[in-house]
């Protein structure tokens, strides 16, 4: 075969193999996975972030926010030297929660927020090597879906 007749096959093969890993970690796929700590998983560069919020938080007192770090295979990744912020938005208001390492692969922060099915969050982290990662969450949306199914 001439090189010009192989070009379409080469391009098709590149698209097939390049698209596989991206599709494997989209939000819809991650939402079907059981997160190890009961939170919601999102992909951020080479990491998975798992956001865990207090499902009973009323907004009247500080409540914990946890972010667990793992690689794409689910292996815990070190949180040492990692800092960040979780911005939590709900119909009852906005909270900015500073995050700091709290254990081997976990970050923790405390803030006043209300647990609500409409709660949305943006987690931004800065790693010890200077790289950054960001992910968007709807950590209680699944709870609302489950509630309506009963």
d(CA 70, CA 10): 34
**Same domain, yes or no: 58 and 123:** yes
Domain count of the fold of the chain: 2
**Same domain, yes or no: 41 and 17:** no
d(CA 150, CA 147): 6
**Same domain, yes or no: 28 and 39:** no
Q: Output the CA–CA distances (angstroms, integers) from residue 127 to 36, 50, 71, 72, 84, in the order listed.
A: 22, 16, 14, 17, 9
**Same domain, yes or no: 15 and 51:** no
**Same domain, yes or no: 106 and 63:** yes
Report, as an integer, the average pLDDT of 95-115: 97
User: Can you give the pLDDT at residue 34?
Assistant: 84
pLDDT at residue 87 is higher than 70: yes
**Same domain, yes or no: 13 and 43:** no
Q: Which of 16-20, 138-142, 143-147 has the highest mean pLDDT?
A: 138-142
Confidence of residue 23 (pLDDT cuts 50, 70, 90): very low
pTM: 0.79
């Amino acid at each position: 075969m001439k090189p010009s007749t192989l070009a379409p096959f080469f391009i098709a093969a590149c698209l097939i193999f390049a698209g596989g890993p991206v599709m494997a970690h989209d939000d819809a796929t991650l939402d079907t996975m059981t997160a190890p700590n009961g939170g919601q998983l999102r992909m951020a560069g080479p990491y998975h972030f798992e956001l865990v919020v207090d499902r009973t938080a009323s907004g009247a007192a500080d409540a914990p926010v946890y972010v667990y770090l793992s690689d794409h295979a689910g292996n815990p990744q070190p949180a040492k030297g990692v800092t960040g912020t979780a911005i939590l938005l709900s119909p009852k208001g906005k909270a900015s929660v500073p995050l700091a390492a709290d254990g081997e692969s976990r970050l923790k922060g405390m803030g006043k927020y209300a647990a609500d099915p409409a709660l949305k969050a943006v987690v931004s982290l800065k790693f010890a090597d200077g790289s950054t990662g960001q992910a968007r969450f709807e950590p209680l949306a699944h709870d609302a879906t489950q509630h309506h199914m009963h």
